[in-house]
């Protein structure tokens, strides 16, 4: 059983919103019809977005750090939005773990959006059904695309490769190794929803130097430079030993 | 959470209808075991069932306004194994149907004594039908309340107090309506209902007050730290990623000032509990149905405020992600 997911590296994300626009572009021109925008060029614009980049400031000036935080559906392994759906429109695909909504079955009762602690569901006000991130399910299996392009639109758009896509159940996959070795973590672990998407933390690359690495033990007088040649009458190492 | 008018009317109307039916059945049961001196006329039960049915159907009509695609609502019974909303959809027509049967048997005079217990307690057909209907009503109450109580991260809703409140507030409203109904028909049952209505309203005050106290000192489990996974006590959102509003900013917050929320809370605390109790007590000494009708109307108005407050008090953890526009 595989579980496809995104890994988002907060250490690399620069907050450029390329994933947001790319997601919007791909999903608004897909088979499910446009992602609705209302008053896009007017006062109080609002619209449907499956992916957003948020920005947080951590700490107090001058010790602050800016964290850009892309947020989309986490495709939980234990999705609370699925069992509450009265019609079965909301479901989790057993073969690859993608959480999807059947737009033809949804009655728009909003109950699944109440049941998602992350606020990752988007109500389409014109179609009057619930929509959400599909992990570009209409793209990742498309054999007409080159193999390297069978990835979610957001992953392809990211200029810094802050987004990785893969199977988190396969322990040898790139994403699993990243989670394991780079400290990948899920959001709001307190609700035991087991999100498939993981985030890699902000981390600083630094070398730890120890005191004895700065002082050469074999040079106690701390004199650097080319040593003077030995006097001519002194036996050299070659004369003492035959090796 | 954003309090939707459709859901507010749905739950309050249904609660009153279900409570009224339980009131009718309680009286019939009391009379059957001879605690009440006489049995009310079949017309009383038939008209009462009709009123309860109309309230339930009114609530059902209101619920359709909450759906984006009401024409597909027939699909919503499918997932009764996992979804309390689906279970509610199943229980609703069952309850309404049993109300029709119960009221119909009374109205058409088809009620017969099936058997007697100890040669003294007559068990009528309607007693059995009413029993099934009462169980269905309790199941419907449970389903409605569990829709809210089952959402574990809406901590204000998640707990047995939510279920108790839905049942007791619905019954209080229904028994108050039964008092008004009985005193209007002058059927002599008014005193019986008054006592029950006062007791149930007082019980509802205890449980609803308890939920207010518990929620007042509740600390949310989720914080910005766990929401974005950065371990630091001071995190501030700079932008939520959108300049305008979104579904996330509309659906999960009440958008009212803290003062208005507090005012609504006080309004329902006065309208639902002390005022109806005072009015109900005055009906015990006079035959005038006016105070009882006023008690029901005020209490129902208060229950609308109570349900609004119930939604407004629930703090959804997703709001952590939507603190700042830009």
CA gap A241, B119 in Å, rounded: 125
Mean pLDDT, rounded, for B30-59: 90
Residue B251 with chain A: CB contacts under 8 Å: 110, 113, 123
CA gap B102, B84 in Å, rounded: 26
Residue B289: predicted pLDDT: 86
CA distance A211 to chain B (A): 30
| Residue at A229 is within a domain | no
Interface ipTM > 0.90:
yes
From A84, which residue of chain B is nearest by alpha-carbon distance? B83
Contact A46 B321 (CB under 8 A): no
Residue A108 with chain B: CB contacts under 8 Å: 67-69
The whole-angstrom distance between residue B122's C-alpha and the CA centroid of its chain comes to 32
B317 closest CA partner among A219, A43, A103, A191: A191
> Across the strands, what pairs with A51?
A72
**b/e code B156-179 from CB counts within 10 Å (16+ = b):** bbebebbbbbbbbbbbbbbbbbbb
Cα separations in angstroms, B181 against A29, B48, B178, B188:
59, 8, 5, 11
| Residue at A85 is within a domain | yes
Architecture field, domain B5-227+237-321 = Up-down Bundle (1.20)
| Residue at A123 is within a domain | yes
At A67-101, the pLDDT tens digits run: 999 999 999 999 999 999 999 999 999 999 999 99
Residue B162: predicted pLDDT: 97
**For all residues of chain B together, what is the average pLDDT?**
94
Residue B140: predicted pLDDT: 97
Helix H, strand E, coil C: the string for chain A is CCCEEEEEECCCCCCCCHHHHHHHHHHHCCCCCCCCEECCCCCCCEECCCEEEEEEEECCCCCCEEEEEEEECCCCCCCCCCCCCCCCCEEECCCCCCEEECCCCCCCCCHHHHCCCCCCCEEECCCCEEECCCCCHHHHCCCCCCHHHCCCHHHHHCCCCCEEEEECCCCCCHHHHHHHHCCCECCCHHHCCCCCCEEECCCCCCCCCCHHHHCCCCCCCCCCCCCCCCCCCCCCHHHHCCC
Best of A48, A56, A78 to substitute, by most chain B Cβ atoms within 10 angstroms, is A56
CA distance B322 to chain A (A): 9
From B81, which residue of chain A is nearest by alpha-carbon distance? A83
| Residue at A103 is within a domain | yes
CA gap B205, B196 in Å, rounded: 14
| Residue at A240 is within a domain | no
Radius of gyration of chain A (CA): 27
At B174-208, the pLDDT tens digits run: 999 999 999 998 777 888 899 999 999 999 999 99
The whole-angstrom distance between residue B46's C-alpha and the CA centroid of its chain comes to 22
Mean pLDDT, rounded, for B33-56: 89
Contact A117 B239 (CB under 8 A): no
CA distance A222 to chain B (A): 44
Provide, rounded to the nearest whole percent, the portion of chain B with pLDDT above 70: 99
Q: Is the link from the previous residue into A62 a cis peptide, with omega within 30 of 0?
A: yes
A132 closest CA partner among A86, A95, A79: A79
Residue A68: predicted pLDDT: 97
Best of B11, B63, B68 to substitute, by most chain A Cβ atoms within 10 angstroms, is B68
From A70, which residue of chain B is nearest by alpha-carbon distance? B241
| Residue at A214 is within a domain | no
Residue A3 C-beta-side C-alpha neighbours within 13 Å: 19
Residue A89: predicted pLDDT: 96
Crossing angle for the helix pair B5-32 and B190-216, to the nearest 10 degrees: 140
- What 3-state DSSP class applies to A101? strand
**CATH number of the domain encompassing residue A185:** 3.30.70.20
Contact A84 B244 (CB under 8 A): no
Lookup: tokens for B186: 């002058």
Best of A11, A42, A54, A67 to substitute, by most chain B Cβ atoms within 10 angstroms, is A54
A131 closest CA partner among A53, A45, A18, A49: A49
Residue B241 with chain A: CB contacts under 8 Å: 17, 20, 49, 52-55, 71
At B234-263, the pLDDT tens digits run: 999 999 998 888 999 999 999 999 999 999
Task: Tell me the DSSP string of A5-65.
Answer: EEEEETTT-----HHHHHHHHHHHTSTT-PPPEESTTSSS-EE--SEEEEEEEESSTTS-E
Neighbour count for residue B4 (Cβ, 10 Å): 17
| Residue at A206 is within a domain | no
Contact between A193 and A117 under an 8 Å Cβ cutoff? The reply is yes
CB pairs under 8 A between A and B: 174
| Residue at A159 is within a domain | yes
Residue A243: predicted pLDDT: 61
**b/e code B301-318 from CB counts within 10 Å (16+ = b):** bbbbbbbbbbbbbbbbbb
Per-domain boundaries in chain B: 5-227+237-321
Contact A187 B67 (CB under 8 A): no
CA distance A145 to chain B (A): 31
From B83, which residue of chain A is nearest by alpha-carbon distance? A84
The whole-angstrom distance between residue A191's C-alpha and the CA centroid of its chain comes to 20
Residue B252 with chain A: CB contacts under 8 Å: 119
Best of A18, A57, A62, A107 to substitute, by most chain B Cβ atoms within 10 angstroms, is A107
CA gap B68, A41 in Å, rounded: 26
> Across the strands, what pairs with A99?
A92
CA gap A242, A239 in Å, rounded: 7
Q: Determine the straight-line distance between the first and last CA of chain B, rounded to whole angstroms.
A: 22
- What 3-state DSSP class applies to A151? coil
Contact A55 B239 (CB under 8 A): yes
Contact A87 B79 (CB under 8 A): yes
At B274-319, the pLDDT tens digits run: 999 999 998 877 778 889 999 999 999 999 999 999 999 999 999 9
* Structural domains counted in chain A: 1
Mean pLDDT, rounded, for B159-168: 97
Contact B321 A54 (CB under 8 A): yes
Residue A52 with chain B: CB contacts under 8 Å: 240-242
Q: Does residue B142 surpass a pLDDT of 80? A: yes
From B89, which residue of chain A is nearest by alpha-carbon distance? A86
Contact B68 A111 (CB under 8 A): no
- What 3-state DSSP class applies to B238? strand
Residue A131 with chain B: CB contacts under 8 Å: none
CA gap B89, B94 in Å, rounded: 9
Residue B111: predicted pLDDT: 87
Contact B152 A191 (CB under 8 A): yes
Domain that holds residue A193: 4-200
Contact A190 B66 (CB under 8 A): no
CA gap B31, A200 in Å, rounded: 69
Confidence of residue B108 (pLDDT cuts 50, 70, 90): very high
Contact B230 A67 (CB under 8 A): yes
Contact A106 B68 (CB under 8 A): yes
Residue B186: predicted pLDDT: 72
Crossing angle for the helix pair B190-216 and B258-272, to the nearest 10 degrees: 150
Q: Which residues in chain A land under pLDDT 70?
A: 242-243
This prediction has a pTM of 0.90
Provide, rounded to the nearest whole percent, the portion of chain B with pLDDT above 90: 83
Best of B4, B63, B83 to substitute, by most chain A Cβ atoms within 10 angstroms, is B83
């Amino acid at each position: 059983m595989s579980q496809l997911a995104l890994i988002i590296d907060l250490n690399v994300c620069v907050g450029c919103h390329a994933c947001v626009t790319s997601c919007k572009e791909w999903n608004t021109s897909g088979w499910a019809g446009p992602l609705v925008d209302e008053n896009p060029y007017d006062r109080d614009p609002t619209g449907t977005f499956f992916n957003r980049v948020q920005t947080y400031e951590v700490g107090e000036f001058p010790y602050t750090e800016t964290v850009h935080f892309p947020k989309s559906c986490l495709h939980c392994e234990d999705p609370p939005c699925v069992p509450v759906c009265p019609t079965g429109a909301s479901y989790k695909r057993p073969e690859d773990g993608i959480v999807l909504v059947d737009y033809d079955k949804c009655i728009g009762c909003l109950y699944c959006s109440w049941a998602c602690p992350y606020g990752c569901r988007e109500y389409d006000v014109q179609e009057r059904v619930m929509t959400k991130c599909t992990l570009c399910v209409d793209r990742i299996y498309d054999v007409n695309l080159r193999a390297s392009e069978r990835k979610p639109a957001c992953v392809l758009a990211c200029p810094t490769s802050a987004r990785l896509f893969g199977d988190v159940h396969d322990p040898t996959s790139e994403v699993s190794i990243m989670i394991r070795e780079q400290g990948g973590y899920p959001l709001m672990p307190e609700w035991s929803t087991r999100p498939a998407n993981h985030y890699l933390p902000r981390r600083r690359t630094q070398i730890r130097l120890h005191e004895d690495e700065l002082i050469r033990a074999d040079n106690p007088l701390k004199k650097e430079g080319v040593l003077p040649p030995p006097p001519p009458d002194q036996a050299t190492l070659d004369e003492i030993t035959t090796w | 959470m954003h309090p939707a008018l459709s859901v507010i009317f749905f739950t309050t109307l249904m609660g009153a209808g279900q409570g009224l039916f339980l009131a009718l059945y309680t009286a019939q049961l009391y009379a059957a075991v001879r605690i009440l001196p006489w049995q009310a006329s079949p017309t009383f039960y038939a008209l009462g069932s009709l009123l309860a049915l109309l309230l339930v159907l009114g609530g059902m009509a209101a619920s359709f306004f909450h759906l984006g695609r009401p024409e597909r609502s027939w699909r919503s019974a499918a997932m009764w194994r996992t979804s309390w909303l689906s279970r509610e959809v199943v229980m609703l027509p069952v309850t309404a149907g049993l109300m029709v049967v119960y009221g119909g048997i009374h109205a058409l005079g088809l009620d017969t004594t099936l058997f007697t217990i100890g040669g003294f307690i007559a068990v009528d057909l309607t007693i059995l039908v009413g029993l099934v209907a009462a169980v269905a009503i309790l199941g419907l109450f449970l389903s409605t309340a569990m829709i809210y109580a089952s959402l574990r991260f809406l901590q204000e809703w998640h707990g047995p107090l939510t279920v108790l409140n839905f049942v007791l507030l619905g019954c209080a409203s229904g028994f108050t309506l039964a008092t008004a109904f009985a005193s209007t028909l002058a059927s002599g049952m008014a005193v019986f209902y008054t006592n029950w209505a006062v007791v149930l309203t007082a019980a509802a005050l205890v449980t609803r007050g308890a939920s207010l106290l518990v929620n007042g000192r509740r600390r949310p489990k989720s914080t910005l730290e766990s929401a974005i996974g950065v371990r630091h006590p001071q995190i501030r959102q700079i932008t939520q990623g959108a300049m305008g509003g979104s579904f996330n900013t509309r659906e999960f917050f009440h958008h009212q000032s803290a003062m208005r929320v507090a005012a609504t809370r006080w309004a329902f605390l006065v309208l639902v509990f002390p005022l109806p109790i005072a009015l109900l007590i005055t009906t015990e000494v006079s035959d005038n149905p006016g105070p009882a009708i006023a008690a029901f109307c005020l209490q129902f108005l208060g229950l609308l405020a109570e349900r609004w407050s119930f939604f407004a008090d629930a703090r959804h953890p997703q709001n952590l992600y939507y603190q700042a526009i830009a």
